[in-house]
Amino acid sequence: MLRVLQFLISSTGIAIIVWAYLDPQFRNAEGFLEGGFCLPFSAGVAFILSGWGLPGTLRRSAFWLALALTGQAVTLQLIEAGPRGEYQHYIRPFIRLLTETHPVHIIYLAIQSVLVFAGIRAFWPAIVKTMNRSFKVWQIVAVFLLFFISTAPISFFPDKTIGYEIPVYLGELIFATYIQILNLLNIILVVWSIPEDVGSSIQRRFQKLGILSKEHDNSKLQTPIRLDNFAFVAAIWVTVFAALLSILSYQRVPHIPDETAYLYQARYFAEGMLTMPAPRVPEAFNIELMDINNEKWYSAQLPGWPAILSLGVLLGVPWLVNPILAGINILLAYLFLQGIYNRYTARIALILLCVSPWYVFMAMNFMTHTLTLTYTLAAANLVIAARKTGNAAWGWISGFFIGMLSLIRPLEALVIAGLIGLWSIGIGGSRLKFSALCGIVLGTILVGMIGLYYNFLMTGDPLSFPFTAYTDKYYWAGSNNLGFGASRDMGWRTLDPLPGHGFIDVLINAGFNIFSMNTELFGWSTGSLLFIAIILFSGGMRKNDYLMFTVIACIIGIHTFYWFGGGPDFGARYWYLVILPCVVLTVRGMQYLAEKFRTDRIPDSFVYFKCTFFVMVLCFLTLVNYFPWRAIDKYFHYRGQRPDIRYLEREYNFGKSLVLINGKRHIDYASAAVFNPVSFNDDSPIYAWNKSPEIRNKLLENYSDRDVWFVNGPSITRKGFEVIGGPINASQLALKQLK
pLDDT at position 55, please? 72
Query: Does residue 453 register a pLDDT over 70?
Result: yes
pLDDT at 162: 63
Burial 76-109 (b: 16+ CB within 10 A, else e): bbbbebebebebbbbbbebeebeeebeeebeebb
pLDDT exceeding 70 applies to what percent of the chain?
Answer: 96
Q: Which residues contact 504 (CB under 8 A, 6 or more apart)?
A: 498
For residue 589, is it within any domain?
Answer: no
- Residue 733 is predicted with a pLDDT of 72
Q: What is the DSSP string of 287-355?
A: -TTEEEETTEEEESS-SHHHHHHHHHHHHT-GGGHHHHHHHHHHHHHHHHHHHHS-HHHHHHHHHHHHT
Q: What is the pLDDT of residue 369?
A: 97
Least confident of 210-224, 240-254, 305-319: 210-224
Please report, for residues 30, 85, 513, 668, the alpha-carbon distance to residue 717 in angstroms, rounded to integers and kept in the order given.
12, 20, 35, 10
25 within domain boundaries: no
In a domain, 679, yes or no: yes
The per-residue pLDDT for range 683-739, each reduced to its tens digit, is 899 999 999 999 999 999 999 889 999 999 999 999 999 999 989 887 777 656 544
Domain that holds residue 706: 642-738
Q: Is residue 545 part of a domain?
A: no
pLDDT at 395: 96
Does the N-terminal peptide bond of residue 727 adopt cis geometry, omega within 30 degrees of 0? yes
Confidence band of 667 (pLDDT split at 50, 70, 90): confident
CA distance 338 to 332: 10
Is the residue at 627 inside a domain?
no
Give the model's confidence band at 218: pLDDT under 50 very low, under 70 low, under 90 confident, else very high.
low
Domain-embedded: residue 703 = yes
**Per-chain mean pLDDT for the chain:** 92
* pLDDT of res. 380: 97
Nearest to 148 by CA among 612, 699, 518: 518
Percent of the chain with pLDDT over 90: 76
Quick check: 604 pLDDT over 80? Answer: no
What contacts 393, CB < 8 A, 6 or more positions away?
Answer: 439
**Separation between Cα atoms, residue 739 and residue 718, nearest integer Å:** 33
Q: Flag whether 649 is in a domain.
A: yes
Q: Which of 474, 407, 491, 470 is nearest to 444 (CA)?
A: 407
pLDDT for 98: 80
Mean pLDDT of 362-390: 96
Would residue 23 count as lying in a domain?
no
Give the count of domains, the chain: 1
Can you tell me whether residue 148 is helix, strand or coil? helix
